[in-house]
Amino acid sequence: MTCCLLVDDDPAIRTLLLDYLQSFGLTVEALADGAALRRRLPAGGVDLLLLDLMLPDENGLGLCQWAKQQWPALPVIMLTAQGDPLSRVLGLEIGADDYLPKPFEPRELVARIKAVLRRGQVLAAANAAPTTLRFHGWSFDRLRHQLLAPDGTVVPLSAAEFRLLSAFAEHPGQVLSRDRLLELSRAPGAAANDRSIDLAVSRLRGKLLNSGGAPLIRTVRGEGYRFDPAVEATR
């Protein structure tokens, strides 16, 4: 069972979130300050950290940075009443996986938790997977973020296109809905929607054409998109 560690100095918020998250099958431990967090994390058994930015003894940004240095794979969602862009950017730059400004709907927090945990699973699978994928003469090196066309030409990819191609390459032959593609390819903390996915797919599809000029990414009407190459994987 997933264990979430909640750090917030507001007892009402701790009680509300503890009861609500437990109703979704999550195990929750609630702490009131940074000192308690520093004592608890080394004991292990924590799958996700929900961390308030403003704590009575320490700044949440510093605690997030410390936690990520010690446990890089630990997902961290920042919770804060400071919704200004600078705080959000700083949190993401020091390693936070997501950022949720207060006040928020508890149901949205549950959705963010599930999304962050799924991204962690995808990343773990990707790290264990071969780094280079070959299909229809193309070579996609995910470690070097490089796509080579069949004639050896380097095809430039934006960060969004790289994440999208990685998602497709990890699910060859599967129909992926827009929601699923958003989940697999959205950058942490970035806003995205169905339209942004359609545009990214269109741009990527224009770059990925087989020898006959046909796209390798196909639209499945009413369902989503499918990447249908014969994939060969190497390390």
| C-alpha span between 16 and 8 (Å, rounded) | 11
pLDDT of residue 8: 95
Q: Within 10 Å of residue 168's Cβ, how many Cβ atoms?
A: 28
Indicate the CATH number for domain 3-126: 3.40.50.2300
Q: Could you tell me the two tokens for 219?
A: 């639209």
| C-alpha span between 141 and 219 (Å, rounded) | 25
Q: Is the dihedral of CA 166, 168, 172, 177 positive or negative?
A: positive
- Averaged in consecutive runs of 10 residues, what is the pLDDT profile of the chain (235 residues)? 91 93 92 96 92 91 90 88 66 80 89 84 53 83 84 85 87 88 72 72 85 77 84 49
All CATH 3.40.50.2300 domain ranges in the chain, comma separated: 3-126
DSSP state of 152: S
| C-alpha span between 14 and 20 (Å, rounded) | 10
pLDDT of residue 183: 82
CATH class of 130-234: mainly alpha
pLDDT of residue 109: 93
pLDDT of residue 199: 87
Q: Could you tell me the two tokens for 232?
A: 């060969």
pLDDT of residue 141: 86
Q: 106-141 burial, b for 16+ CB within 10 Å, e for fewer?
A: eeebbebbebbbebbebeeeeeeeeebbbbbebbbe
**Largest interatomic CA distance in the chain:** 64
Strand, helix or coil for residue 26: coil
Q: Could you tell me the two tokens for 208?
A: 């990925």
| C-alpha span between 120 and 14 (Å, rounded) | 25
All CATH 1.10.10.10 domain ranges in the chain, comma separated: 130-234
